[in-house]
Amino acid sequence: MTASDVTSMDAINGVQRNSKIFLVSRCAWTLYNFRSGLMNELVQRDVRVIGGGAGDDGFVKPIEDLGVPFKILPVDKKGINPLADLKLLMSLYRWYRNEKPDIVHHFTIKPVIYGSLAARFAGVPRIINTITGLGYVFTDKEVHLLRRFVEILYRLSLGVSHTVFFLNREDLEFFSSRILPHSEKAVLLPGEGVNCHYFSSEHYEQISNDGKPITFLMVSRLLKDKGVYEFVESAKIVKNRYPETEFHVLGKRDTRNPNVVSATQIRKWQERKFITWHGEATDVRPFIERSHVIVLPSYREGLPKSLLEGSAMEKAIIATDTIGCRDVVDNGVTGILVPVKDSTALADAMIQLIEDPVKRRRMGRAGRRKVEREFDEQIVIRQTLAAYGEDECDPTRHEQMVTPPESCNKAER
């Protein structure tokens, strides 16, 4: 698929009216927060789109308010459990067999693996998958046997897929070399996209950070491999020099993940005023706007949406020089990249931006332009719709990126 193919009306209109498309993710939260634009677009095209995933997080109603019915599925979010995973596989199989969707599109590990196999058994005509990241199974060296097992499952499930989307080139190359049986199925997306109309500082022009303490914001789940400990250690260093500086964390404790930071540890950090933890928020924009710099010291990412959202709202970025993060940040232009697990380097970058407000503003404006040019949500939606409407795979398409729209501000939430 060439870039011109993707942007042609024939490709985009390949999704027929009244087609039935299932979008299945780990939970309602991930589907709502990362696929709202896609769901909106499908609904506007008179496509019968139905969501699916665990529904215990309060986001089923927001999805249904978009005009998308939601199927609650028995997704076990606490790791591999053979009985629970078999239950999920059978539930998906029965659902697909009874409802007969034209296309199923899976996101996150378990829906990708078990949903693909269920779709193949149920005879679904088109199976699409998005690899949103590798997860701790591939980053934790102590789970070697589990990683080998998951690789086998991936090989089986992706082998029956028609298209596999990746959010960064390193993940695409990793899967193509070790797991994906047919690399011609691989498609590189520019992340999950950002609605640049929704994430715009124009909505918050009445808020000014001038004269306020410099504030660093980390938007992430409270996991060790997201760099939470490094964020706190750098806060300690910076506060010794600039004690009024504020450090905020926005995100939930993902208790299903073995790398979750304990509630006791978070409480200790807050008691000593190293950070302020706000938990999870439905709308992150007020937190981003009240911050001066967005920080993500992650060990590895798919393609971090929190950095894209920060850049879209014209904030300077500090992130680690690792997979996913370096796709978003142009070092020295839109932000600063620092080594992984290096709290001292992270603190030095923070101090640099504290002391140079002109650089902060310049990086923020450059970041906005980069997001408009490369990561607008409409780019991702157009390429996804093109994959839905394809008749066959083009072996050259994983080398292509979609031509971005003329203006990011044309996107609607």
Q: How far apart are CA 185 and CA 163, in angstroms?
A: 5
pLDDT of 171 above 60: yes
DSSP 404: P
Same CATH topology for 3-193+376-404 and 201-373? yes
Flag the least confident range among 170-174, 242-246, 264-268, 401-405.
401-405
* Average pLDDT of every residue of the chain: 86
Residue 345, burial from CB neighbour count under 10 angstroms (0-12, 13-18, 19+): buried
74: nearest Cα among 59, 58, 53, 95 = 53
C-alpha dist (Å) from residue 369 to 105, 160, 203, 302, 318: 30, 38, 17, 21, 17
Tell me: the pLDDT tens digits for 307-359? Answer: 999 999 999 999 999 988 999 999 999 999 999 999 999 999 999 999 999 99
| β-sheet bridge partners, residue 287 | none
Tokens representing residue 40 in the block: 């909106």
Contact 198, 207 (CB under 8 A): no
Q: How far apart are CA 15 and CA 386, in angstroms?
A: 8
Tokens 């199974």, residue located: 137
DSSP 270: H
- Looking at residue 79, its pLDDT comes to 66
pLDDT of 2 above 50: no
- Looking at residue 412, its pLDDT comes to 31
pLDDT of 110 above 50: yes
Cβ-proximal residues to 406 (8 Å cutoff; 6+ apart), any chain: none
Tokens representing residue 33 in the block: 């927060």
- Looking at residue 38, its pLDDT comes to 96
Which class is domain 201-373? alpha beta
248: nearest Cα among 310, 322, 333 = 310
Other CB atoms within 10 A of residue 217 CB:
26
- Looking at residue 139, its pLDDT comes to 61
The reported pTM is 0.81
For the chain, the domains span 3-193+376-404, 201-373
Query: Mean of the pLDDT values across residues 244-253?
Result: 96
Q: How far apart are CA 394 and CA 184, in angstroms?
A: 7
Contact 103, 19 (CB under 8 A): yes
Q: Is 68 helix (H, G, I), strand (E, B) or coil?
A: coil
- Looking at residue 135, its pLDDT comes to 66
Contact 106, 112 (CB under 8 A): yes
Architecture of domain 3-193+376-404: 3-Layer(aba) Sandwich (3.40)
DSSP 113: I
Q: How far apart are CA 134 and CA 141, in angstroms?
A: 13
Contact 371, 312 (CB under 8 A): yes
